[in-house]
Amino acid sequence: MWKSNGLISRINRAFLLQGALISVAALLSVFFASIVLEEILIKQAIKQEADYFWKNYQQNETFPLPNTFNLTGHFDPDGLPSVVKRSLPVAPGFHEYEESELVLYNTQQQGKTLYLMYNRGQVDTLAAYYGLFPLALVLIVLYLSLWLTYRFSKKTVSPVSWLANQLNKVDIASRDLSALKLENFPYDTNDEIKVLSEAIINLGERLDAFITREHNFTRDASHELRSPLTVMTIAVDMLSSEQASSKSAQATIMRIRRAIADMEELTEAFLLLARESDQALSTNTVVINDVIADEIDRARLLNDKQLDISFRPRFKLQVRASEKVLAILFGNLIRNALQYTEQGGVEIIIEQGSVTIKDSGRGIPQQQVNDIFKPYHRGDTASSNGYGVGLTIVKRLSDRFNWPIGINSIPGIGTAIDVNFPDAVSESLT
């Protein structure tokens, strides 16, 4: 089915509008033509007929009165129809009798009154016959030309619309563009359509090669990045197990452990976002409360500021999603809240259909709220030592899985970020 704003629909509307305008113009032309015919031509002809009669009557009083099928003349009012005699006009000029469709024109000369009478209905019939027939012929020619032009335009545009519709049906995952080849076209194609079809197929092949390179990169990066991170994690575990390490060494080891955890999280997030579709993700029913609890435990282990993390689940939320995606999303939000908080703590509240993460940090000025999701944007606090991509990843995940995010921040008081889950199943815990 073609879209309402497609080329063919627009052509249909344009030709329908053109046909309607032609019809309106034709009706108006008939209306004004009838007025001109009656008020000017017919009445002028009657006056000329009277002048002609008086001119000949002055020369010969036996000159006959007009007496035709459409016009009769009288000197004696008794020869007029009874409907006219009942209201015989005194003043000269035209007088109409609506109930009988009669029109009387009287004029006076030499002390006599000439009455010329004609039937308006007969005149209108003649005017309509001789006026509408040529007009109908013109309209038939115009409508036929309009229809032929419409057929030609539709025939010209149909291949483009068909090509667009087929392109919209192409399954990107299958990478099969054979439906767009010229031999599958149900219409006769011209040179422009051939060029367009070949250009689309060429673009599809280039995109296919690009996707293949991206898949290869994702596979290679998954292996090459995880391997050194695993080695570093083992080395840090071995160093932390040595009891002879000083407190400063233990603090350094903790910072290395936190950096490794951040790198692992970033690697997982980048690989996840690089996937072409969500079908490659394993999804099941996930309890958001459990995911947040795990991320809180993880954050506490890496929390060298010793900030308080308060978890207040008022509802149990279940959503159909990837547990890893939720862990990346909430892990970034919790670590970001801790990073920009110097004193106080972080509060995580689960309401019906949403999760709110509050911190008691410096807050964000209103003019900078829309910038925090931009890549590599970092706050101006002294402890801002992140990579500037955590909230960018959060925003991309929320947009991809339709989990809207809201921000309410007051400078000097703190920031609250709400993550909404429209499809979540909520169960009250109070």
**What is the domain class of 281-428 according to CATH?**
alpha beta
Residue 355 C-beta-side C-alpha neighbours within 13 Å: 27
pLDDT tens digits, residue range 352-371?
A: 999 999 999 888 887 777 77
Calpha distance 287→316 (Å, rounded): 7
Residue 274: which of 207, 219, 326, 329 has the closest Cα?
A: 219
Domain 171-277: CATH architecture, name and number where available: Orthogonal Bundle (1.10)
Q: Which two tokens mark 17?
A: 């509008």
Q: What is the pLDDT of residues 203-220, one digit of tens each?
A: 777 777 777 777 677 666
Query: What's at 297, amino acid-wise?
Result: D
Helix (H, G, I), strand (E, B) or coil at 411: coil
Q: Which of 318, 314, 229 is nearest to 270 (CA)?
A: 229
Name the pairing type of β-strands 93-97 and 71-74.
Answer: unpaired
pLDDT, averaged per 10 consecutive residues of the chain (430 residues), comes to 57 75 75 67 83 88 86 86 83 82 84 84 67 73 79 70 66 59 59 68 74 70 70 79 69 77 70 59 84 87 79 93 86 88 90 93 81 65 52 85 90 91 90
Among 366, 374, 355, 376, residue whose Cα is nearest residue 412: 366
Contact 34, 131 (CB under 8 A): yes
Delimiting residues of CATH 3.30.565.10 domain(s) in the chain: 281-428
Helical H segments across 93-190, by residue range: 120-169
CATH 1.10.287 domain position(s) in the chain: 171-277
What the block records as the tokens of 111 is: 């002390």
280 vs 25, 266, 318, CA distance in Å?
62, 19, 21
176: tokens are 């099969």
Give the pLDDT of residue 343.
Answer: 86
Q: Which residue has the tokens 């459990």?
A: 290
Structure-token pair, residue 33: 């033509």
Pick from 261, 321, 267: which is nearest to 290 by CA? 321
DSSP states of 198-262 as a string? Answer: HHHHHHHHHHHHHHHHHHHHHHHHHHHHHHHHHHHHHHHHHHHH-TT--HHHHHHHHHHHHHHHH
Strand 284-287 to 315-321 pairing:
antiparallel
Q: Are 413 and 360 in contact (CB under 8 A)?
A: yes
DSSP conformation letters of 312-345: EESEEEEEEE-HHHHHHHHHHHHHHHHHT-SSSE
Pairwise CA distance, residues 6 & 4, whole Å:
6
Q: Please, are residues 334 and 296 in contact by the beta-carbon 8 Å criterion?
A: yes
CA distance 349 to 288: 12
Let me know the angle formed at the C-alpha of 426 by 421 and 429, rounded to the nearest 5 degrees.
130
Could you write out the DSSP letters of every residue in 24-56?
HHHHHHHHHHHHHIIIIIIHHHHHHHHHHHHHH
DSSP label at residue 67: B
For every residue of 351-391, DSSP letters joined together read: ETTEEEEEE-S----GGGGGGTTSTT---SSTT--S-S-HH
Instruction: Give residue 376's identity as a one-letter amino acid code.
Output: Y
* Confidence (pLDDT) at 381: 47
Q: Is 76 helix (H, G, I), strand (E, B) or coil?
A: coil
CB 61 within 8 A of CB 110: no
CA distance readout (Å), 344 to 3, 341, 356, 378, 413: 56, 7, 17, 21, 10
Q: Cα separation of 39 and 33, whole Å?
A: 10
Extract the tokens encoding 154.
Answer: 């539709």
Instruction: For residue 309, give the 3-state DSSP assignment.
Output: strand
